[in-house]
């Protein structure tokens, strides 16, 4: 079409999938938190293992325990909550598969970053909207609060974590940073090195997040230009 830019044909990752998944997770969490109260009232021996009520196998175990309690209001309430948890888990799993397919196609460079899952990548893409609107990695870091803020105390200057900016995007970068600090040799080494140089834990983590932020910025640019080439 005349006058249309190639940018108009670049596929986008709509954040509605991520937001829908988060809403479903919140609803399931509320149901899962209510369920043990009914189970305990019904039979104190029915005690699901921690974090077992987010998968079908855990639901099956509770369902089997409820076989002996066929009647009564409490039993019906417990079964109703259990069934709702099943439905929500099925929908959450289906959304995660859809998100993974979409993100794998449009953001291979972003997914290559250690600690960046498909769900985290979808959040980053959705909250970033268009990486071209940021002129540099520093501008991108300022957008969500990873850029350092200088402060002074008793003639001593240092930096602190910024609490402003896009908090959803900040959380996504934070998730990657935690994974790298715990599991990735490079992230561990940088975190420990900065602490040995006198930085506190939060400041050392902020530095790790900034390094990751720069890598995310470059990955988003790479994926963006790859989409441009494919759309041309």
Angstrom distance (rounded) from CA 126 to CA 178: 21
Mapping DSSP onto H, E and C, the string for 68-79 reads: HCCCCHHHHHHH
Please indicate, yes or no, whether residues 126 and 151 belong to a single structural domain of this protein.
yes
Q: Which of 54, 75, 106 is the last residue of a domain?
A: 106
Strand partners, 157: 152
- The domain tally of the chain equals 2
Please indicate, yes or no, whether residues 30 and 88 belong to a single structural domain of this protein.
yes
Q: Which of 66, 85, 106 is the last residue of a domain?
A: 106
Residue 108, number of CB atoms within 10 A of its CB: 14
Tens-digit pLDDT string for the chain (232 aa) = 344 444 444 445 556 788 889 999 999 999 999 999 999 888 888 888 878 888 889 999 998 888 777 678 988 999 999 999 999 999 999 999 999 999 999 999 999 999 999 999 999 999 998 899 999 998 898 888 776 666 656 565 555 555 667 888 999 999 999 999 999 999 999 999 988 988 888 888 888 999 999 999 999 999 999 988 887 7
Angstrom distance (rounded) from CA 48 to CA 61: 8
Please indicate, yes or no, whether residues 25 and 80 belong to a single structural domain of this protein.
yes
Q: Which of 106, 131, 149 is the last residue of a domain?
A: 106
Task: Please work out, in degrees rounded to the nearest 5, the angle formed at the alpha carbon of residue 25 by the alpha carbons of 22 and 26.
Answer: 90
Please indicate, yes or no, whether residues 164 and 137 belong to a single structural domain of this protein.
yes
Q: Do the domain assignments include residue 194?
A: yes
Q: Do the domain assignments include residue 112?
A: no
Domain that holds residue 47: 6-106
């Amino acid at each position: 079409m005349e006058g249309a830019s190639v940018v108009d044909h670049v596929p986008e990752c709509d954040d509605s999938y991520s937001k829908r998944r988060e809403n479903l997770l919140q609803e399931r969490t509320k149901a899962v938190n209510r369920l043990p109260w009914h189970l305990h009232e019904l039979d104190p021996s029915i005690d699901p293992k921690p974090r077992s009520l987010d998968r079908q196998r855990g639901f099956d175990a509770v369902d089997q325990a409820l076989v002996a309690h066929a009647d009564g209001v409490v039993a019906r309430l417990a079964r109703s909550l259990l069934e709702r948890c099943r439905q929500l888990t099925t929908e959450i799993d289906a959304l995660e598969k859809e998100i993974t397919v979409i993100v794998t196609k449009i953001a291979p460079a972003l997914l290559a970053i250690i600690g960046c899952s498909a769900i985290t990548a979808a959040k980053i893409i959705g909250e970033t909207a268009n990486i071209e609107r940021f002129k540099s990695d520093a501008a991108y870091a300022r957008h969500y609060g990873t850029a350092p803020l200088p402060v002074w105390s008793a003639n001593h200057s240092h930096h602190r974590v910024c609490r402003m900016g896009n908090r959803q995007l900040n959380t996504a970068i934070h998730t990657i940073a935690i994974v790298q600090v715990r599991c990735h040799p490079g992230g561990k080494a940088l975190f420990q090195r900065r602490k040995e140089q006198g930085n506190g834990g939060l400041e050392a983590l902020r530095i790790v997040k900034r390094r990751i932020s720069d890598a995310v910025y470059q990955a988003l640019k790479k994926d963006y230009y790859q989409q441009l080439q494919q759309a041309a």
